[in-house]
Amino acid sequence: MRLRGRVAVVTGASRGAGRGIARVLGEEGATVYVTGRSTRAGGSPTGRPETIEDTAEEVTARGGTGIPVRCDHTDDAQVRALFDRVRAEQGRLDLLVSNAWGGYEREVRIEPCWTLDPAHLDLMLAAGLRAHLLTVQRAAPLLTDTRGGLVVLTTWAVGEPYHGNLYYDVAKTAINRIPVGLAEELRPYGVTAVAVSPGWMHTELMDLTPEQAAQTESTEFVGRAVAALAADPDVRRHSGSVRTVVELAAEYGFTDVNGRPTSGFWEQYARDLGKEHVSGTER
């Protein structure tokens, strides 16, 4: 219960990484506002069965307090209303996890850039990059008033190697720049900003073979990374950086739910980078 008394907002938390993060924060005793567009009353825009109410109940069942709030993070009025509500009900915000991402409403395929559909780019920018920027912008007054808080943006540690989908690579790289600017602007208020990259997660959307699933990590692995950062009294040393879950697992000593501090995906990723480095050196 390291986060007892802390107030958190986790966006895009009806499923996937957001749900895993919210669960772990609940386990640590936090009050968690669970946001997203999928509700029991209105259904899901993508037809999925998971809802923000489901996640909020899991947060409470694990020892925290889960509060579902329907919010489309592309809509400025709804985002403003979310943080106005948090201020009215809690008077503070200690942790913002900006996780909403519309780019997975369509499959992110590895294909030549000239075959990509611009409609998918629009999703990544509007419900991804813009949603992150809008969310942190509207949360900032409450974070700066609270002081000493933390902003975590979920991302992908693209850059090396190239992802293979130009839209995705560019959008995620842009998101990775957000904590750089936030670190500068929020430093006077004691607020830390960091991007955290999970690896290949086994989410509700995936229909994997047992062999493929064995290479993945759970959505709670990134949740444990966020909880470790939120509980660290010296977290500001990470401000402005992009960290992977395996780097944070090594630093803080946590594991995934299966007891492993890494996954088959990350092990292959390290091998691939090592091979590229060696071949580059030889050239």
Q: Which residues are catalytic?
A: 168
* Phi/psi at 154 (5° precision): -80, 145
3-state secondary structure of 168: helix
Give every CB contact of residue 170 below 8 A, 6+ residues apart in sequence.
Answer: none
Q: How far is CA 124 from CA 106, 121, 155, 187, in A?
A: 10, 5, 12, 28
Say if CB 17 and CB 99 are below 8 A apart: yes
Pairing of strands 150-154, 7-10: unpaired
What is the enclosing helix (H) or strand (E) of 193? strand 192-197
Say if CB 179 and CB 137 are below 8 A apart: no
Say if CB 74 and CB 126 are below 8 A apart: yes
Measure CA of the first residue to CA of the last residue in the chain; give whole Å.
52
One-letter amino acid at 153 equals L
Q: How many residues does the chain have?
A: 283
Q: Which of 72, 67, 55, 62 is nearest to 8 (CA)?
A: 67
Q: Which two tokens stand for residue 14?
A: 């009806």
Give every CB contact of residue 140 below 8 A, 6+ residues apart in sequence.
Answer: 185, 186
Q: Assign residue 166 a region (left: φ > 0; alpha: ψ between -120 and 50; beta: otherwise).
A: alpha
